[in-house]
Amino acid sequence: MAGYRTGRAHAAVSPTMPTPRQPVIAEQVALFALRGEIIAQDIALTKALGGGYRSDSPVELKPR
């Protein structure tokens, strides 16, 4: 039984043998890449707007 478990564990991490989780992992990697791109674009926008830009108003503006 121990040989079976060892062989099974080795097969699960083998880069040449596809597993059912590989598509899920690939999508998660793509999601992290997109999140990184969003952060990079947000930083670029902040720099283009002169830095220190915030989309929400830091203080409440009251009409006079």
Predicted confidence band at 9 (pLDDT cuts at 50, 70, 90)?
low
Enter the pTM of the model: 0.50
Q: Residue 52 in contact with residue 58, Cβ under 8 Å?
A: no
Measured distance CA(40)–CA(43) in Å, rounded: 5
**Residues 36 and 43: beta-carbon distance below 8 Å:** no
> For 12-63, what is each residue's pLDDT tens digit?
556 676 788 899 999 999 999 999 999 999 989 888 888 776 666 666 767 7
